[in-house]
Structure 1
Amino acid sequence: MFSGTVVVITGASSGIGRATALRFAKRGAAVVLASRRSEALAELAVECETAGGKALAVQTDVTDAGQVQALARRAVDTFGTIDVWVNNASVSVFAPFLEMPLDDIRRVLDVNLMGYIYGAKAALGVMTKQGHGSLVNVASIVGEVPQPYTAPYGMAKAAVRALSVSLRSELALAKQKHISVSTILPATIDTPFFRHAANYTGREVLAMPPVYAPDIVAKAIVKVSKKPQNELIAGGPIAKTLVAQHRKTPAVIEAQMAQQTDKTHLSMTTAAPRTRGALYSPPSTTDATVTGGWNGRQREGNRKILGSLLAATIGVLLARRVLAHSDS
């Protein structure tokens, strides 16, 4: 299906990026793999070639516009084109806002927003000349319903959604009918991402349930690169319900998100040291895996239970609001 397709993926060394690279490679694509971890990229390149694709590893720090432009040039020089560009590299910091170091806030925005801007400029610079291509921006459910303790992450992901809309508008005005811009909104995904986050809360960062396997996002990315879609939620019914309900009753959902983050995203029992995580230096190559050990594929039962509780909670809260309004 993707034989001869050239796909550039940032943040490719682990998690969603790694899963996406392997999924494209299995379908015959040539994947250009970018991240800060050269050894991890070299290992992944071998896996992708074994899976049936072609691969080029390019060590890249997405906060450096020059390196991102060089990434695009390497892709074109090696394979002649860029058909799909996936902006995926992301980092995060957990801390109460007033205790969050300003440098760390700036770093999250540099990676998660400026990195996407540099990627979009590099990708669209090539695509507008060749007249076709697909830009895929991996945002987050948190870009729709922000959490406490991760303000810069939510800010960046919301901004990425706005960036995608603006780019689609400009491409439409320029009559670039064969260039698409899609945004993916993953729910909580079973990757090493949470171990790599900076953390000043004193509590261990956990993957907040419900947790989904990385391949659910990889499938979504492959899907929109083939059949463009403006925005696609990568998660089950709970994630889709959360987004839809937030647009109807934002206060209710935001209150629920705050409570769930405090109770399930940060451990209630396990302490954690202050750490800058992978903000300024890449994590160990030994942690360059697709999954993070959160058992995303095995938690369907918990997911269904949580979905029932979510629906029940929303129903009760909405009923109370209706009664209160009628009594007034």
Structure 2
Amino acid sequence: MPDSRNQQVVVVTGASAGVGRAVARAFGARGAKVALLARGEKGLEAAAGEVREAGGTALPVPVDVADHAAVDAAATRAEEELGPVDVWVNNAFSSVFAPFTETGPEEFERTTDVTYLGYVNGTRAALDRMLPRDRGTIVQVGSALAYRGIPLQAAYCGAKHAIQGFTESLRCELLHDRSNVRITMVQLPAVNTPQFDWLLSRLPRRAQPVPPIYQPEPAARAVLHAADHPRRREYWLGGPTVATLVANRLFPGLLDRYLARTGYDSQQTDEPRDPHRPVNLWEPADGPEGRDFGTHGSFDDRSADRSPQLWAVRHRGLLTAAGTAAAAAGAVAVRAARR
């Protein structure tokens, strides 16, 4: 029997690099029709080529997600050329690596426009098309930083917190309306993406993800699993994400002091920052004079390509059955021992 997921129409924002590109390629491997939204045309075209090579149909659409009219127009084009959108994945972001006092008001506002309002714009465009059909799934790619702020990333953490609150509010409204449109969120750990090569940074040393680091592919698998099982309100990828969110619930004050002590060094390598590196806050780093940055960042040798915690989530039924069987065997053994 054919898998209906092969016929899906999917929109992925931030699809020119990193997690968004890995997600687009993974949907392409299913044979899906994928609209790839991002600003950088070089990265978009390369990502579209990877979707086609994987077996899918690709429609690259250059767009700034901070522009709500442009996002809506991109959604219209996706439906005209590919068909009704089944899954919309919000992933695009930009940010600044710097203390809050060294982040300009325009830079903070731009980060918020892209990283938070970009999700709002994408969600609105998706709902405008999904609600009349009473079907569809929206996946918000989040972060452990949607719950736990860390130093040197105030703009990004603020935006991720805002996405979390916005998504919870919208989920309640969809439930109230008894809508069959689903929305879910995937909270990610540190991921080896090109963001550390192109985000605006005022740190003295080169920025890095806080170890342990994961590759974009496990994140993509988590997003696809969430798209297939959207009734679960949220997914957490990786042990570090789980540990961080649990610790923040139980000991937020201790975590404040721990991050104050370790958060600066853990987000920087020993190398000095290159003052001539590209910056994508205002313009795409892979613009006319730029290059395709690909899916991975510069930390392949330190990044994991699998997550045991994700495996456990995806095979929860198997684990439950195994646990039940083990418990039953244990009960039998106890009764036998008592005879």
Q: Would you say same fold, with TM above 0.5?
A: yes
> 1:151 is matched with which residue: 136, 150, 154?
154
Change (3 A) 1:24 1:299: closer
For 1:247 and 1:184, the matched residues in 2 are separated by: 18
- The match for 2:34 is 31
Alignment of 1:286 with 2:286, yes or no, is: no
Alignment of 1:253 with 2:255, yes or no, is: yes
- 1:190 and 1:212 in contact (8 A); partners too: yes
- The match for 1:6 is 9
Change (3 A) 1:20 1:274: same
Instruction: State the secondary structure of the residue aligned to 1:139.
Output: strand
> Could you tell me how far 1:42 is from its partner in structure 2?
1.9
Write out per-residue CA displacement over residues 247-276 of structure 1, whole angstroms, 9 at most, x where no aligned residue: 011111232233332112023552443878
For 1:106 and 1:271, the matched residues in 2 are separated by: 24
For 1:127 and 1:257, the matched residues in 2 are separated by: 41
Write out per-residue CA displacement over residues 84-113 of structure 1, whole angstroms, 9 at most, x where no aligned residue: 001100111011211211110000000011
- 2:215 and 2:303 in contact (8 A); partners too: no
Alignment of 1:118 with 2:116, yes or no, is: no
- 2:192 and 2:303 in contact (8 A); partners too: no
- The match for 2:99 is 96
- The match for 1:226 is 228
- The match for 1:322 is none
**TM-score, L = length of structure 2:** 0.84
Structure 1: runs of 5 or more not aligned = 301-328
For 2:304 and 2:9, the matched residues in 1 are separated by: 34
Instruction: State the secondary structure of the residue aligned to 1:149.
Output: coil
Sequence identity percentage: 33
> Could you tell me how far 1:298 is from its partner in structure 2?
4.8
For 1:258 and 1:147, the matched residues in 2 are separated by: 8
For 1:87 and 1:31, the matched residues in 2 are separated by: 13
CA RMSD of superposed structures (Å): 1.7
Change (3 A) 1:296 1:143: farther
Between structure 1 and structure 2, the one with the greater Rg is: 2
Task: Give the letter for the 1:264 counterpart.
Answer: S
1:46-61 paired onto structure 2 within 5 Å: 46-61=49-64
1:242-321 paired onto structure 2 within 5 Å: 242-273=244-275, 277-284=279-286, 286-295=291-300, 298=303
For 2:10 and 2:24, the matched residues in 1 are separated by: 8
- The match for 1:211 is 213
Task: Give the letter for the 2:205 counterpart.
Answer: R
- 2:143 and 2:160 in contact (8 A); partners too: yes
For 1:279 and 1:51, the matched residues in 2 are separated by: 30
